[in-house]
Chains A and B, each alone.
Chain A
Amino acid sequence: AQSVAQPEDQVNVAEGNPLTVKCTYSVSGNPYLFWYVQYPNRGLQFLLKYITGDNLVKGSYGFEAEFNKSQTSFHLKKPSALVSDSALYFCAVRPRSYNTDKLIFGTGTRLQVFP
């Protein structure tokens, strides 16, 4: 079965420190990969996506993600965390082999940035 794993329910980091939110996937082929962020009582906001090419993808608000094909991972990173980055982060994949554009989401990781 196609699936996405976010192994950490919560990540805690001090403001100014680098952060990493992990994502691995089990999807056949070379899927498209996405990161979204959800703030309380808000919808999902698109951060970045990987289609092809450079393994390091840069996105909104200073976030970037590193694609690793051999490890089937797509970890979200930021060099210096802000308190305002505290939110729920979702990794999602869209298998290229599907005749549909549905996104398969991970369970989400809550990021808490402490001042």
Chain B
Amino acid sequence: DSGVTQTPKHLITATGQRVTLRCSPRSGDLSVYWYQQSLDQGLQFLIQYYNGEERAKGNILERFSAQQFPDLHSELNLSSLELGDSALYFCASSTAGTGADTQYFGPGTRLTVL
């Protein structure tokens, strides 16, 4: 158990809908990352937050957004969902967000868009 929690574990929804994925980092970690794992794209970095502020963006679609709250938990919002958004979404956290920090991953949320 990495100490990173994600809810829900599974999510099934329809095209055009909006969903919110939640992540709680390990105790004491200030940095949160979101990754998408799909069969065709592999593991892709989406976005990083550090202590409430956006630090970096990766291949995140405009339909997707995220935030990190004062208690350091994070939410990833996915809207106008398409079939291709079906994937495993991981949250990771690290202590201070410096390069050598280890990122610890949560168990993921499996999103299925029908």
Interfacial residues, chain A to chain B (CB-CB below 8 A) = 32, 34, 36, 42-46, 49, 51, 90, 94, 96, 98-108
Contacts and interface: CB of A to CB of B under 8 A. Distances in A.
A101 B2 contact: no
A94 B105 CA distance: 16
Interface residues of B, number: 28
Contact of A34 (B33, B90, B102): B102
A42 B106 CA distance: 8
B97 A101 contact: yes
A101 B98 contact: yes
B105 A102 contact: no
Given A44-B105, A45-B105, A96 B42 contact: no
Contact of A32 (B31, B92, B99): B99
Nearest to A102: B45
B100 A51 contact: yes
A45 B2 contact: yes
Contacts of A46: 2, 102-105
Interface of B: 2, 4, 31, 33, 35, 42-45, 48, 55-56, 58, 90, 92, 94, 97-108
Contacts of A49: 100, 102
Nearest to B88: A43
A106 B37 CA distance: 12
Contact of A43 (B45, B58, B99, B107): B107
Contact of B58 (A45, A90, A102): A102
Given A46-B105, A102-B56, 17 more contacts: A34-B102, A36-B105, A44-B105, A51-B100, A90-B43, A96-B99, A100-B48, A100-B55, A101-B31, A101-B94, A101-B101, A101-B103, A102-B45, A102-B58, A104-B45, A106-B42, A108-B42
A72 to B, nearest CB: 18
